[in-house]
């Protein structure tokens, strides 16, 4: 994740890739992890702008895929 809270990745070869998102609530000493897997059919760049988090509030952000072969699944 860069300083703009954007997740940026650029696989250079086809294959299955993944990452694990770790979230921590330091006020309540709670943590959670979620693994994301995706298959690349050629070089693809994934981007997401993540909003600020708030206690007891769920949020989400869309991923944007650039390059490769659509449809992305």
Q: What pLDDT is recorded for position 7?
A: 67
From residue 47, how far is each of 10, 35, 52, 71 by CA, in Å?
9, 16, 16, 16
Q: Whole-structure pTM over 0.75, yes or no? A: no
Residue 21 contacts residue 34 (beta carbons within 8 Å): yes
Please give the Cα distance from 16 to 27 (Å, whole number).
36
Q: What pLDDT is recorded for position 44?
A: 65
Structural domain boundaries in the chain:
6-67
Q: What pLDDT is recorded for position 73?
A: 65
Q: What pLDDT is recorded for position 35?
A: 92
Residue 45 contacts residue 10 (beta carbons within 8 Å): yes
| Tens-binned pLDDT, residue by residue, of the chain (73 aa) | 566 777 676 667 778 888 888 888 888 888 999 998 888 776 667 777 777 778 888 777 777 777 777 776 6
């Amino acid at each position: 994740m860069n300083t703009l809270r954007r997740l940026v990745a650029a696989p250079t070869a086809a294959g299955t890739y993944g990452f694990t998102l770790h979230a921590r609530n330091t006020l309540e000493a709670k943590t959670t992890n979620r693994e994301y897997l995706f298959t690349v059919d050629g070089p693809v760049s994934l981007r997401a702008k993540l909003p600020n988090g708030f206690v007891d509030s769920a949020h989400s952000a869309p991923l944007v895929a650039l390059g490769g072969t659509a449809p992305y699944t």
